[in-house]
Amino acid sequence: MKALKRNLVIALLLFISVITIGNNAQGASYAFTRNLSLGTSGDDVTALQQFLIAGGFLKTATSTGFFGSLTKTALGAWQSSAGISPSTGFFGSISREVAGRIQAQNVIVATTTANGSPVRLKIPKLNIDAGFQYTGIKSDGTMEIPNNVVDVGWFTGSPHPGDKGSAIITGHVAQIRGGVITKPGVFIDLNKLQAGDKLYVVNDKGVSITFTVREVRSYDPNADATDVFTSKDGGTHLNLITCEGTWNPAQLSYSQRLVVFADLTQ
């Protein structure tokens, strides 16, 4: 347990709230009728992404309907696990047949597997309505972060939002290329939240859970952040993590960590 706590502290200290690089229940069965590949879009791409999300191959909470590189990589991983060769990320006739069969087998299970996982984060004051990615701990002991600047991440090593304990949500401040902000992140205005502001998490059961901001606190990278990940009062909390301060191009990180502490609203 002590080792895990150390890893969680390291995770916060190493959390980079910037991108510098260039699960849910199985959905209802979909009749795929065309080949899908990089660059295609449509309802069938949405259905394919939902299928891959449900299988844990595409680590986003929502589908986009556009077949991009992440979908291709996830599809290739699924093809490999299903024994489909070549596993190139091209959704052709063999993949369509196998996916359709699996969906048909699981369509009944789909209606009963919602487990309270978060699907949307809404912060009206900041005009945030974001989808979730589900993130864990990497092999080096640091916490995974969202792979884009528009989604937020629920750390799956923390409770479901609404359960007792401290649920952890992460998000990026900005996308930076060459030391210049090229796109604002979902949490670029997180420092504007104040005590009393409302946050809402909608889960996969369709339930909206309300939290009220209690405190907004900045951390030095060398500070002990154990209290961000733990709860000693037996209550239900939601903690949002991002970065702030001065951008350090050598470390690809900001100088401070910002944490918003919120409590369940009864």
**CA-to-CA distance for 51 and 124, rounded, in angstroms?**
31
Enumerate domains of the chain plus CATH numbers. 11-21+115-264 (2.40.260.10), 43-110 (no CATH)
**CA-to-CA distance for 110 and 80, rounded, in angstroms?**
23
**CA-to-CA distance for 109 and 187, rounded, in angstroms?**
35
What angle (nearest 5°) sits at the alpha carbon of residue 249, between those of residues 7 and 155? 30
Paired residues of 259 in beta bridges? 217, 241
Query: Going residue by residue through the chain (266 aa), what tens digit of pLDDT does each one get?
Result: 344 444 444 445 444 444 443 333 334 567 888 999 999 998 888 889 888 887 788 887 677 889 999 999 999 998 888 888 889 999 999 898 888 777 666 544 444 467 888 999 999 999 999 988 888 887 777 778 888 888 899 998 899 999 999 999 999 887 766 666 678 889 989 999 999 999 999 998 889 999 999 999 888 767 777 778 888 888 999 999 987 666 666 655 665 688 999 999 97
Q: Which helix (H) or strand (E) holds 228?
A: helix 226-229
